[in-house]
Structure 1
């Protein structure tokens, strides 16, 4: 973290710390007042904003929830997994790797004397790497914007209106019977007051087709010499995200604007939250502690950090300028504590679904030579998971006055489960991060010296999380929570005490290993998926027969729509 007075003529930093400045020290009395300067406000809110977005973007189905129930015509989505989960060995590996890179850059700068060549190489490399992050960031932003314009539900008072893309109508559910009743006069995919617009059939058809294009997947196939080389499912937003990422990358490469550099840096942070995560609170706290020591040593006891920070110019930091000076923040100050904060949000989601778990009484029969014995046991039934993708628009349209900081109405169960579940641990970590950032800025302004921000952020975030667990009496849950897949089991048989608490449970199978229900039937949505697979096998068999008759395809490129596009009548 650094701050400089006067014109911003310093390139920036490449680490969670910053160089010494030549400005006059600020009196301690005015340190707090200076925190209101624009560059410091932008630093704090940018860091908090990207952590909030990245943490919510990292949400996955928790092991306490069952796979989501598929609707008619809906394909099963492959669950996203982290590219790398941090383990105990990373506690030692991370500081050593970072120190080696930092020392290598330091001696390379000393040897080159002029860091221009190194800056160009790093700038190009980091810009290319940030394209993937920017594509993910832009794609999720487009998805949320699409869900805002074309939600699947909206509320009028306490009544939920559902939008059906297959029947191209809006309907409400009659509570006593569960019957779906179409609403007359609402024949567009638009929510709220826009649903009452009197549009011509052509315009209504156009809106439905735009919704179809933006929300449904198209299958693209490529075959050469009869061999399938490519099969992907894409939406319009998937194409737009790469167009946006490429445009921003090209603009930054030719202009070098700080605003575009900040955007690329934030996108890299966002992508990091979805790619890397500690597998448990214990490992996450240990990794942060090791980087805490690394940061302090490199800033206060070696020249490596400050020298590299003064000479590197690449999109690996946030730079904010104002008439009063410049303020910079390394991405490490965002990503390192942000990973643990994202884990805290997923733990909140895990606990939310865990509290909804139900116990079902079952009878277990044991056959012996003397006869059969019946034993009463409890089976734990997990609640269905609600995918948060596409639910932010639903939350906006089911919340009074569209105020997303408040909860949706009770009748809107899906947006509540996906986005508005209680988040005590995440909010505690946000408060700890904010406090640590404010202390960092204050100390920096008082002593006029760049500070190792992790010195203040690590105790703030980890302390807030573990104290929250202690206050809520959930330290054991935090200690046992792990994201290595071992907790992801099927509904299992358990033994409970007189108060209904689980005292023993049998070993359960992994959720993904078996998706069949108790009576042997296919699970919800799996039947349709099996039928689609059979149809594809029949088509492939016909294709093999045709090719066997002497036909041979040199090149095949096809785009398959998810359903037939209807024409306006």
Structure 2
């Protein structure tokens, strides 16, 4: 009997089985790449959360209550501190002109690096120069990332709210106790340990409790550095223990990376730090501007990978060549990225192949642009979710007199600092409250929200992961380096705009803007916006008044530098940390350094007009709060 040809289904199954066998060794690598790229996006997006325009400022009394304990740990310099001032976060807004500038400058930079490589004929020379340049920014970026990670870990161990025995507890750091406020309050007892949940049942001595309360207060016990140079500089910075640890880790990382060995994990640490910091300080301003910029970079990435082939020698392309005597044609972007040993990419070890040189470790690469560029839109989507959350909590009060306009009453904004760790200790894995009743507290107030719906954020993350999976599939099917933005941009943009279309919120998304509209002060003057910097600057050109106490400088002072330690370190310091974290932590529970008196960012000139949606306050009026 003659052999029959396999059916179409059998052929398809056989092809799929062969393809799976071929890609199976790389599945852990791809999973590593997906998780590693999501880490800086997720963390930075939550760290960028601030008060949206649809939420009211916290009342003066609530702000004072949160800052009360922290203020005890500050000096009384009235020139530097303003209890009524709302902290602001520095952010750079993008404008429509960046639609052209981004691809243009990216192309110029890439071409310049390639021609420098050809001219120098030694990639190590250019790598050393670039690494020295990146080391300056890398120090601050790694310090910020490490200190924020430590703050997250600390907030998980010492949350402000937790559940024990069906009762919701609020931790009072100043009093050194946790008090039941909701749920099974009758059977709940006052707890004298800062440990949350079941950990509170651990038998501890007074000395151990004292040490735990002091450790809970540790992040807020900061050293204050003051610097003054007449008519040039005046300001102060505050440095805590976590910041010092981050600085040590950053310095050790840069020394080892530049002087010993450029391992993949140190390259990734620097890459994570750059991506984490960039997503926090850059905003697309509007969804229209962000989408247009992504589309422009979409075509740029395609052109640089598919239409810019160059003759690549092993000297300039060491990761792609097997021997020292061969040359090949390689995309310009791939040539530059693989030739330079600088932290502009993430590297992931993968199993060697038959073409891998003996003793050389193979690695998959993902450019930082493939994380930062989509991450800007994903961060914008999360802030839009927060905007919608408070928009739906607004109440419209009908006018009492004829011809008057209705009044929109906004819900008071609750800082999102530490909410993730609070949610972890108060809710089940399915998101249900662990205390028996979710009713208002005994004093009649509602419990502050632990989280908010993240519809657009989750949709954009799904689109991003789908784009990465499509990139990996195309890489194997075409056997050719892939421009990741070719798949990531459609994945993110289609997921966002399709979600808005299904929910009927296209107009809301289109008109949403993060451009700042200046607010007037009570005295009728415009609020002053200053650029954030390491030291909080004063008006060094102002005429100095005679010294009248601690709040004034000596009249003959020309130069001074001082270091002040924390005033108190003890069990009562827990309240200080609690008050400080309320005002200084980011939405994901990480602590944003309070050493900088930052300001709002200003968006593009093209979006200067305020936008109104449904009669509520313009979305463009948005102060960024830490």
Distance 1:189 1:285, change over 3 A: same
- The reply to whether residue 406 of structure 1 matches residue 431 of structure 2 is yes
- The reply to whether residue 37 of structure 1 matches residue 27 of structure 2 is yes
- Aligned partners of 1:322 and 1:216: how far apart in 2? 44
CA contact (8 A) 1:159 1:172 kept: yes
Shift of 1:332: 0.9
CA contact (8 A) 1:223 1:229 kept: yes
Compute the TM-score of the two structures, normalised by the length of structure 1: 0.76
- Aligned partners of 2:182 and 2:476: how far apart in 1? 62
- The reply to whether residue 344 of structure 1 matches residue 369 of structure 2 is no
Aligned pairs for 1:228-239 (under 5 A) are 229-239=234-244
Shift of 1:37: 2.3
Q: Which moved more, 1:476-485 or 1:119-128?
A: 119-128
CA contact (8 A) 2:271 2:368 kept: yes
Partner of 1:296: 302
- Aligned partners of 1:415 and 1:442: how far apart in 2? 49
Partner of 1:542: 549
- The reply to whether residue 242 of structure 1 matches residue 247 of structure 2 is yes
Distance 1:275 1:415, change over 3 A: farther
Distance 1:553 1:346, change over 3 A: closer
Q: Which moved more, 1:213-222 or 1:79-88?
A: 213-222
Please give the secondary structure, in 2, of the residue aligned with 1:44.
helix
Mark the runs of 5 or more structure 1 residues left unpaired by the alignment.
1-25, 365-373, 487-508, 517-536
Q: Which moved more, 1:375-384 or 1:406-415?
A: 406-415
Partner of 1:214: 219
Compute the TM-score of the two structures, normalised by the length of structure 2: 0.69
Aligned pairs for 1:101-180 (under 5 A) are 101-173=109-181
Shift of 1:225: 8.9
Please give the secondary structure, in 2, of the residue aligned with 1:380.
strand
Aligned pairs for 1:379-394 (under 5 A) are 379-394=407-422
- Aligned partners of 1:391 and 1:205: how far apart in 2? 25
CA contact (8 A) 1:226 1:555 kept: no
Shift of 1:275: 1.2
CA contact (8 A) 2:422 2:450 kept: no
Deviations 1:480-535 (A, max 9, x none): 1000024xxxxxxxxxxxxxxxxxxxxxx83x74599xxxxxxxxxxxxxxxxxxx
- The reply to whether residue 356 of structure 1 matches residue 384 of structure 2 is no
Distance 1:417 1:94, change over 3 A: farther
Shift of 1:85: 0.9
Distance 1:258 1:552, change over 3 A: closer
- The reply to whether residue 277 of structure 1 matches residue 302 of structure 2 is no
Alignment length, in residue pairs?
A: 483
Shift of 1:543: 4.9
Mark the runs of 5 or more structure 2 residues left unpaired by the alignment.
1-13, 72-82, 310-331, 353-361, 525-543, 574-626
Match of 1:441 among 447, 472, 481: 472
Shift of 1:418: 6.3
CA contact (8 A) 1:226 1:552 kept: no
- Aligned partners of 1:411 and 1:234: how far apart in 2? 40
Aligned pairs for 1:252-271 (under 5 A) are 252-253=257-258, 254-271=260-277
Distance 1:226 1:444, change over 3 A: closer
Shift of 1:361: 3.9
Shift of 1:556: 6.2
